[in-house]
């Protein structure tokens, strides 16, 4: 089980509101695509779920328990770049996940334990199609192979939630299609909840069971930083219709003049 | 006519070109030295190479009349011992503090300003303090080298560790790493090649502090010998000693470069591709 509940979350940096009134429930096992213009806070949203940043207001829970304020092994992540360790070869990059868990002091495994962990790591490399590159360093891999490695690494901890931050954004279209073909069965088999931030709408609709669009619905020209982004579209893509259904839409609530003034001029 | 920037020498030409300036300098020395000798047979400033060879042969093979040591080798051993202990201690301090400051925001907030201030103390200015506190023996010379280069190593490594992409640090946490494990398996290996590079850069300053300390108070050592025979204007000893020190520094630098490339091949991928 891995149900994520986001309740009235705000993210503010000083005076600037990045995200406001974000509330949603993500069902266990969903594949959520997050789209939106640059700088609208979708990566911030992902970092909050990752635990890298803490929301200014509101709470996020995972299976009913509040999220810890730091990254942990229950939430795996694949970034666009720098996701793998350059000083370890492909096998060691996956092996290290088992070493962290089983060897608290030296973080190194030897003998039979190492062999057992190696076998698990090799199985993961097999699953992402990197078996024959096990002894290469990441610098010798192509961009797509590096992302495969990052995915294998993330899967090693069998996370409840897998967070993808524009994971295929730097890849060419052919490689990207291969990565789509890789990630979808992995998600189905393992029953993880996946949240993927992307700029590619085709990717977002093609992979997701649900699509969130972030944007800033209001902009005050005098105080552009006073209105943050919200979820403006929340589409259910799981039904096999030709048109996505506005499954979870929520109207923007109206506000009074005094409320507006207070937000635009907080120090007045 | 090709542009000058596009003319690349082959490997044979490269060696020849590298040797040329050395040969020219040697020739120049021989000619000038011979000229001075012709004008004044008692000239001590630029002794002929044969004279230098005789002096060094005496220092390297004949036991000293007072101590019974072979002077060149006992000087070299004494200096190298001080230098290597100093470099080793500075590297250990640099690594431990650099990793701590680079990785832990609390440690960095508490100690970085202190390290920044300490690194600005001119080490030679506190040499008298070191002599008073640690005595005139080996310890004060080693401490001078450590004080001279450790702050640079600490700051350089802290910066290297802090520059590890935050993605990697977050990724390690999602793989279940504790702070200690992160330091040991993610930060330490990535800091090692930079530590060796920083040590290579520190060889010059390390020798500077070594020779200075030996010049002021010592009973053996390369710097001690140079400053001892200076009184007799013994250029036939000083010049070979300087060449010998230079050779030692060059070999140490080369060794460190080899160790880095052998031990951490992943850090030099860009280099081999070129």
Q: What is the pLDDT of residue A175?
A: 85
Residue B126 burial by Cβ neighbours in a 10 Å radius (0-12, 13-18, 19+) = middle
Which residue on chain B is closest to A94 by alpha carbon?
B175
What string of DSSP letters covers B98-126?
A: HHHHHH-HHHHHHHHHHHHHHTTS-GGGG
Question: Does A72 sit within 8 Å of B168, measured CB to CB?
Answer: no
Over chain A, what is the mean pLDDT?
A: 86
d(CA B7, CA B184): 46
Q: Using DSSP, state whether B70 is helix, strand or coil.
A: strand
In the block, tokens 């040590």 appear at: B199
Residues 179-238 in A contacting B (C-alpha not used; CB under 8 Å): none
- Touching check for B165 and chain A: CB below 8 Å? yes
Q: What would the mean pLDDT of B24-51 be, rounded to a whole number?
A: 90
Q: What is the pLDDT of residue A232?
A: 85
ipTM of the prediction: 0.86
> Is A80 in contact with A165 (CB distance < 8 Å)?
yes
Q: Using a CB-CB distance cutoff of 8 angstroms, which residues of chain A are in contact with residue B170?
A: 50, 52, 71, 77, 79
Least confidently predicted of A180-194, A218-232, B16-30, B72-86: A218-232
Model confidence at A63: pLDDT above 70: yes
Model confidence at A253: pLDDT above 70: no
Least confidently predicted of A223-227, B35-39, B110-114: A223-227
> Is B203 in contact with B253 (CB distance < 8 Å)?
yes
Model confidence at A262: pLDDT above 80: no
Q: Give buried/exposed letters for A240-265 (b at 16+ CB in 10 A, else e).
A: eeeebeeeeeeeeeeeeeeeeeebbe
Express as a percent the part of chain B with pLDDT over 70: 99
Question: Does B190 sit within 8 Å of A106, measured CB to CB?
Answer: no
Cβ neighbours of residue A28 closer than 8 Å, sequence gap 6 or more: A1, A2, A3, A191, A193
d(CA A162, CA A195): 6
Cβ neighbours of residue B33 closer than 8 Å, sequence gap 6 or more: B46, B47, B48, B49
Among A66, A47, A78, residue whose Cα is nearest residue A7? A66
d(CA A163, CA A45): 11
Residues 134-153 in A contacting B (C-alpha not used; CB under 8 Å): 137, 139-140, 150, 153
Inter-residue long-range contacts of B267-273, CB under 8 Å, 24+ positions, other chains counted? B267/A86, B267/A87, B267/B190, B267/B193, B268/B193, B269/A137, B269/A139, B269/A140
Read off the tokens for B78: 């004494």
- Touching check for B115 and chain A: CB below 8 Å? no
Question: Does A140 sit within 8 Å of B185, measured CB to CB?
Answer: no
Over chain B, what is the mean pLDDT?
A: 92
A143 or A260, greater pLDDT? A143
Categorize the per-residue pLDDT at B43 as very low, low, confident or very high, splitting at 50, 70 and 90.
confident
Q: Using a CB-CB distance cutoff of 8 angstroms, which residues of chain B are in contact with residue A87?
A: 189-190, 264, 266-267
Q: What is the pLDDT of residue B5?
A: 93
> Is A59 in contact with A9 (CB distance < 8 Å)?
yes
Least Cα separation, residue A203 to chain B (angstroms):
23
Among A252, A223, A210, A233, residue whose Cα is nearest residue A27? A210
- Touching check for A98 and chain B: CB below 8 Å? no
Residue A7's φ and ψ, nearest 5 degrees, are -120, 110
Q: Using DSSP, state whether B175 is helix, strand or coil.
A: coil
Least Cα separation, residue A141 to chain B (angstroms):
12
- Touching check for A154 and chain B: CB below 8 Å? yes
B274 or B58, greater pLDDT? B58
Q: What is the pLDDT of residue B181?
A: 93
Q: Using a CB-CB distance cutoff of 8 angstroms, which residues of chain A are in contact with residue B185?
A: 96, 99-100, 107-108
Categorize the per-residue pLDDT at B274 as very low, low, confident or very high, splitting at 50, 70 and 90.
very low
Q: Give buried/exposed letters for A119-131 (b at 16+ CB in 10 A, else e).
A: eebbebbebbebe
Categorize the per-residue pLDDT at A82 as very low, low, confident or very high, splitting at 50, 70 and 90.
confident
Residue A24's DSSP bridge partners are A6
Q: What is the pLDDT of residue A256?
A: 73
Which residue on chain B is closest to A105 by alpha carbon?
B181
Residues 16-75 in A contacting B (C-alpha not used; CB under 8 Å): 50, 52, 70-73, 75
* A119 to A126, A131, B214: CA distances (angstroms): 10, 11, 58
Q: What would the mean pLDDT of B152-160 be, rounded to a whole number?
A: 95
Query: In sequence order, which ranges of B6-137 are alpha helices (DSSP H)?
Result: 11-39, 49-61, 71-103, 105-118, 127-134
d(CA B72, CA B78): 10
Q: What is the pLDDT of residue B23?
A: 96
> Is B151 in contact with B93 (CB distance < 8 Å)?
no
Least confidently predicted of A194-198, A220-224, B103-107, B226-230: A220-224
pLDDT per residue as tens digits for the range A85-133: 999 999 999 999 999 988 888 888 888 888 999 999 999 998 888 889 9
Q: What would the mean pLDDT of A32-48 be, rounded to a whole number?
A: 89
Question: Does A75 sit within 8 Å of B174, measured CB to CB?
Answer: yes
Question: Does A71 sit within 8 Å of B173, measured CB to CB?
Answer: yes
Q: What is the pLDDT of residue A32?
A: 93
Which residue on chain A is closest to B193 by alpha carbon?
A87
Model confidence at A66: pLDDT above 50: yes
Q: Count CB atoms within 10 A of the CB of residue A144.
A: 19
d(CA A25, CA A182): 26
Q: What would the mean pLDDT of B20-26 be, rounded to a whole number?
A: 95
Express as a percent the part of chain A with pLDDT over 70: 93
Residue A59's DSSP bridge partners are A7
d(CA B168, CA B162): 11
């Amino acid at each position: 089980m891995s149900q994520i509940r986001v309740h009235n979350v705000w993210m503010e940096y000083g005076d600037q509101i990045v995200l406001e009134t974000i509330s949603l429930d993500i069902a266990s096992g969903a594949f959520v695509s997050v789209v939106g213009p640059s700088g609208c806070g979708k990566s911030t949203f992902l970092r909050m779920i990752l635990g890298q940043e803490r929301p200014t207001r509101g709470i996020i829970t995972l299976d009913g328990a509040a999220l810890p304020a730091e990254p942990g092994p229950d939430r795996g992540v694949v970034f666009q770049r720098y996701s793998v360790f350059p000083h370890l070869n492909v096998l060691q990059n996956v092996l290290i996940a088992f070493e962290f868990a089983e060897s608290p002091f030296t973080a190194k495994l030897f003998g039979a334990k190492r062999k057992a962990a190696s076998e698990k790591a090799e199985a993961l490399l097999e699953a992402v199609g990197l078996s024959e590159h096990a002894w290469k360093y990441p610098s010798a891999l192509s961009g797509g192979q590096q992302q495969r490695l990052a995915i294998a690494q993330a899967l090693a901890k069998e996370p409840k939630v897998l967070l993808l931050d524009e994971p295929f954004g730097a890849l060419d279209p052919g490689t990207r299609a291969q990565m789509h073909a890789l990630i979808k069965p992995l998600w189905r088999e393992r029953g993880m909840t996946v949240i993927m931030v992307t700029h590619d709408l085709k990717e977002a609709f093609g992979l997701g069971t649900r699509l969130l669009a972030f944007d800033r619905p209001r902009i005050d020209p005098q105080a552009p930083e006073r209105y943050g982004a919200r979820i403006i579209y929340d589409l259910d893509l799981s039904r096999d219709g030709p048109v996505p259904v506005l499954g979870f839409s929520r109207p923007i609530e109206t506000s009074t003049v005094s409320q507006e003034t207070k937000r635009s001029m907080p120090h007045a | 006519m090709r542009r000058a920037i596009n003319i690349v020498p082959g490997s044979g030409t490269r060696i020849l070109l590298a040797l040329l300036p050395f040969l020219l300098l040697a020739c120049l020395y021989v000619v000038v030295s011979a000229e001075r000798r012709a004008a004044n047979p008692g000239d001590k400033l630029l002794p002929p190479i044969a004279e230098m060879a005789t002096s060094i042969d005496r220092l390297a093979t004949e036991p000293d009349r007072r101590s019974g040591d072979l002077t060149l080798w006992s000087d070299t051993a004494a200096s190298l011992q001080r230098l290597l202990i100093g470099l080793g201690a500075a590297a250990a301090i640099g690594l431990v503090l650099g990793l701590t400051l680079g990785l832990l925001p609390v440690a960095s907030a508490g100690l970085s300003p202190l390290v920044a201030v300490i690194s600005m103390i001119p080490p030679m200015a506190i040499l008298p303090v070191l002599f008073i506190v640690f005595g005139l023996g080996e310890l004060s010379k080693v401490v001078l080298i450590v004080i001279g280069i450790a702050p640079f190593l600490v700051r350089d490594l802290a910066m290297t560790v802090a520059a590890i992409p935050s993605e990697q640090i977050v990724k390690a946490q999602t793989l279940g790493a504790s702070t200690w494990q992160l330091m040991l398996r993610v930060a330490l290996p990535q800091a090692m090649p930079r530590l060796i590079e920083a040590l290579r850069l520190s060889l010059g300053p390390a020798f500077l502090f070594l020779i200075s300390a030996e010049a002021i108070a010592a009973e053996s050592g390369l710097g001690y010998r140079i400053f001892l025979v200076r009184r007799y204007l013994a250029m036939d000893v000083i010049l070979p000693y300087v060449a010998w020190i230079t050779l030692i520094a060059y070999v140490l630098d080369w060794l460190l470069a080899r160790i880095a490339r052998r031990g951490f091949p992943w850090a030099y991928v860009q280099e081999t591709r070129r």
